[in-house]
């Protein structure tokens, strides 16, 4: 639950989820590279990590990656990559007052 809460905050970047993924892969790279996992095996391995990940370490690493990448990292993410926030309103969930 805590991971989802952090991701929903869009802390530092709306693409924080990508940095979290990189941090997880970085944290387990020895296992992944040592076993030369294919795509299916990698997905199975990542799914089996549920409940075993040191979330504090992963979030710290993701934050550091995001800060290091800063503008260059954001520039390399194509516009419209989910979950891009709406630019026009600035509100994540616009209200429709006429419904109330």
Collapsing DSSP states into helix, strand and coil, what is residue 70? Answer: helix
Average pLDDT for 44-54? 89
Collapsing DSSP states into helix, strand and coil, what is residue 99? Answer: helix
**What residue ranges do the domains of the chain occupy?**
2-82
- Helical H segments across the chain, by residue range: 2-9, 16-27, 29-34, 39-47, 55-75
The pLDDT of residue 61: 92
Instruction: Render pLDDT for 3-38 as a digit per residue (tens, 0 to 9).
Output: 888 888 877 777 788 889 899 999 998 988 898 888
Instruction: State the pTM of this model.
Output: 0.66
Q: Using pLDDT thresholds of 50, 70 and 90, give the confidence band for residue 74.
A: low
């Amino acid at each position: 639950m805590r991971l989802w809460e952090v991701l929903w905050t869009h802390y530092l970047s709306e693409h924080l989820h990508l940095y979290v993924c990189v941090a997880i892969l970085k944290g387990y790279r020895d296992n992944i590279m040592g076993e030369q996992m294919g795509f299916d095996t990698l997905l199975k391995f990542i799914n089996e990590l549920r409940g075993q990940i040191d979330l504090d370490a992963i979030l710290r690493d993701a934050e550091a990656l995001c800060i290091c990448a800063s503008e260059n990292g954001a520039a390399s993410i194509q516009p419209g990559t989910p979950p891009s926030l709406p630019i026009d309103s600035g509100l994540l969930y616009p209200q429709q007052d006429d419904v109330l």
